[in-house]
Amino acid sequence: MKKILFLHDTDTSLKRGAELTITQLVALGNQLGYFVEVDLLKNYESTKSKIQQSDLIVLNSTSRCRFEKELLRYLVDEKINYIKIEFDYNFCIRRNILCTVDRGIRNCCDNEKYHLYHQVFGNAKLNAFQSPKHFEDHFAFYGESVANKIIMPPTVEVDKLQISKIKNDSVIPFFGDLSYLKGGEAFLDYAIENPQFTFQVYGKNEIRRELPSNVFLNDYISNEEVLKILGQSKYFFCKPLAKEASGRLAAEAFLSGCEMITNDRVGTWSFDFYPNDKERAKQEMKETPQLFWDNVNRILNQNETENVPDLGHVLVYKSYGGLGDIFFCLPSLVNLKEVSTSVSFAVHPRLVSFFTKYFKEINIVDEEKIKEREAEFDIIIELGNYPAFRGYDLPHAIRYSTHKKVKQHAIQHHIDGLAKFHKNYSNQYKGYPYFERNTDFENPYYVVHPGAGFLLKIWPTENYAKLIEELHDLFPKLKCKIILGKEDPNPADFFTKEMNHIEYITGGLEDIGKAMERAFFHIGNDAGITHVAGAFNVPTVGIYGPTGPGSWGSFAQFNEIIWGKKGNCDLRCNYDVIINCPDRVCLSSTTVPKVLSALYQLLQKAYEDIAFDLKVNPLLEIDFSEKDCLLKINQNELLIEYRDLSMKNSVEEILKGNFKDDFSEEEESLIHVFIEQQVLFCIPELK
């Protein structure tokens, strides 16, 4: 006897919705000769033990399970055979993808859970959805991962319908609690607009507003009583705010002959039997449990491993977005290569030689010339633009379903966008395919880019000049390469002395690439060149102003991001705000010592394995007294109490930057504390 284990997070004694369907499926499974059991996900180890003893798992709702992620990872990692029955939108922490109907909701997703469900659906032997619309919603997010599916209409007990010839046209019922998501507000508004009706609610009022005089609350009733009332009712109101996967209650009302006062958010209405073919609807609903078990039998008896063909020869365009956007999409193309025969990436003609030289994982082609050869490809993808401001009118443009919903870097958004094309596409960011770089330690230099595509987002150019001068004073042997585009401001206009150690890079992207190949570090604004540095894995200090790093931060392995907006400005910036901002405090508040401190921190992390010099944090403020000294860095304070005069002298010398060749044991302990507290930094030795 085959053992089938249903996993569900809610007691099935509640005979409504998912629980009623599960009860029906379990009962039929036992009748068909299977041993069917339900586990309510109370104990992880107990659940795992049952899984190991079962022939097939039926994974239902898990959002209320406290070990949900561990359970899902176990099913995927151990390659357990399972069917996924989706009753709601379990990948969403709200279980209702309310963000798709309310544009004000954003950044609400659990990133880890959202990405885990790509694997859950993709590894399932079968995915079962509650309606065509329910499936379409999932396909918009997960694409081919959910394509192996059946669609199961609500398992309404059609033989228990109690359709009356005489209909009550004065009372409109509502079953369940009046809630915001279930359309409670719309129901009460309708009651106010239609005082000629009486409205009977069989549940509680969870909406914080006074009930109209024609609305009455009643106790919960059984499903049998619900069917009786529906059979006698002429009208039924169902206008949920959130999308309903199926809407069993609405389906029962429809089959009972009620006239529907509804909207398009009820999944059942997406079946082609609605609204004119009640008999076919009844037949399909009656057949649903047997359809499910027919698929169980097929899965249990299939021996061959599923062979999913790859995508063939793929052509990818990136027609919109700046230079940085191109670098953001490269990891997604590497993942795409794993499920394709070949991947060709079409770029602007001026970029072909650069990407051909440095990005060797993918075939780089001229976007103008390749248009004549599109027939050679099996699939063409247009990455469009993330964020999805425009580009939907482009042929082959994809939609970024995660846009403004999942809070993550643009790199991951591109990966999620392509993950929809193949169930075996890995939606994991596996690290950046960095271009080859060999830091020049013999003749070290750093790179600065003082410009940006949008000049109102740059750190004041006079500050760049001060920073370059100070770095030269601190590290006389360290050379500087300044990248200057045609419209970029030039720090040379603000130098107060001769700067003979500087080289200007004014050529194209290949010249910039050459500079990045051996650079010691990079300092730049929120601009595409910062992401060129990231592609070469150059340790980077990024200076951000009106628009924070968010989805567009540096992706270099070692980076420090300075965002001057925090604590200085609460405005939410768009183009109009930025061009009318009189002082740009988000940028002007970032001082040269702050950037220098971030640079020290960066260099300490990036080059920890080479010989170093000690440097005092440029942000350090010191209040010396006879018995102690108070150290301040931003909002942090550290009080050092002197044990004796010798300790006092040692502390003062260290904090003044007067370092000896040999330190006493006590001095070494002090230095260790100062390094831990970022009072001192270990900077690579540049001699």
Claim to verify: residue 370 and residue 466 sit in the same structural domain: no
Residue 388: pLDDT above 80? no
The domain boundary, picked from 133, 151, 169, lies at 151
Give the model confidence (pLDDT) of 419-431 as tens digits.
999 999 999 999 9
Residues 99 and 183 in one domain: no
Residue 591 lies in a domain: yes
Q: Is the pLDDT of residue 436 over 50?
A: yes
> Among the residues of 124-205, which ranges form H helices?
132-142, 184-193
Token pair in block for residue 8: 């569900």
Helix, strand, coil shares of the chain, percent, nearest 5, are 35, 20, 45
Same domain for 596 and 659? no
Looking at the structure, tell me whether residues 458 and 408 fall in a common domain: no
- Residue 69 inside a domain? The answer is yes
Q: Is the pLDDT of residue 390 over 50?
A: no
HEC states along 299-353? HHHCCCCCCCCCCCEEEEECCCCCHHHHHHHHHHHHHHHCCCCEEEEEECHHHHH
Q: Does residue 52 fall inside a structural domain? A: yes
Q: Are residues 147 and 164 in the same domain?
A: no
Residue 209 has a CB neighbour count (10 Å cut-off) of: 11
* HSE of 517, CA atoms in CB hemisphere, 13 A: 11
Render pLDDT for 101-154 as a digit per residue (tens, 0 to 9): 887 777 678 889 999 999 999 999 999 999 999 999 999 999 999 999 999 999
- CA–CA distance, 244 with 247 (Å, rounded to integer): 6
pLDDT in tens, 613-634: 999 999 999 999 999 999 999 8
Residues 386-409, mean pLDDT to the nearest whole number = 61
State the DSSP H helix or E strand holding residue 122, giving kind and residue range, or none if neither: helix 111-123
Residues 261-270 have pLDDT tens digits of: 999 999 999 9
In a domain, 298, yes or no: no
Q: What is the pLDDT of residue 419?
A: 94
Handedness of CA 585, 587, 592, 597 (dihedral sign): positive
pLDDT for position 55: 98
* Number of domains within the chain: 5
Is the confidence at residue 28, as pLDDT, over 90?
Answer: yes
CATH code at position 646 = 3.90.930
**Is 297 among the domain residues?**
no
The verdict on residue 435 lying in a domain is no
Domain-embedded: residue 274: no
User: How far is CA 54 from each of CA 5, 41, 120, 305, rounded to the nearest angstrom?
Assistant: 6, 15, 18, 19
- Same-domain pairing of 173 and 112: no
CA distance 609 to 449: 27
404 — pLDDT class (breaks 50, 70, 90): low
77 and 102 assigned to the same domain:
yes
Q: Does 494 map to a domain?
A: yes
Tokens of 71: 């359970």
Q: Give the separation between CA 458 and CA 461, rounded to whole angstroms.
A: 8
Q: By residue range, what is the domain housing residue 640?
A: 612-684
Instruction: Say yes or no: 454 and 586 in one domain.
Output: yes
The CATH code of the domain that includes 321 is: 3.40.50.2000
Verify that 470 and 597 share a domain, yes or no: yes
pLDDT at 319: 80
Residue ending a domain, choose from 232, 266, 300: 266
Within 13 Å and on the Cβ side, how many CA atoms surround 116?
21
Q: Please determine, for residue 158, whether its predicted confidence score (pLDDT) is greater than 80.
A: yes
pLDDT in tens, 315-366: 999 887 788 889 999 999 999 999 999 999 999 999 999 999 999 999 999 9
For residues 602-611, give the mean pLDDT.
93
pLDDT digits (tens, 9 = 90+) for 35-83: 999 999 999 999 999 999 999 999 999 999 999 999 999 999 999 999 9
> Of the residues 151, 179, 207, which one is the last residue of a structural domain?
151
Three-class HEC string of 434-490:
CCCCCCCCCCCEEEEECCCCCHHHCCCHHHHHHHHHHHHHHCCCCEEEEECCCCCCC
Respond yes or no on whether the N-terminal peptide bond of residue 275 is cis (omega within 30° of 0). yes
The answer to whether residues 196 and 119 belong to one domain is no
Q: Are residues 544 and 585 in the same domain?
A: yes
> Do both 415 and 459 map to the same domain?
no
Task: Give, in order, the Cα–Cα distances in Å from 23 to each of 12, 38, 220, 291, 531.
Answer: 7, 9, 20, 15, 55
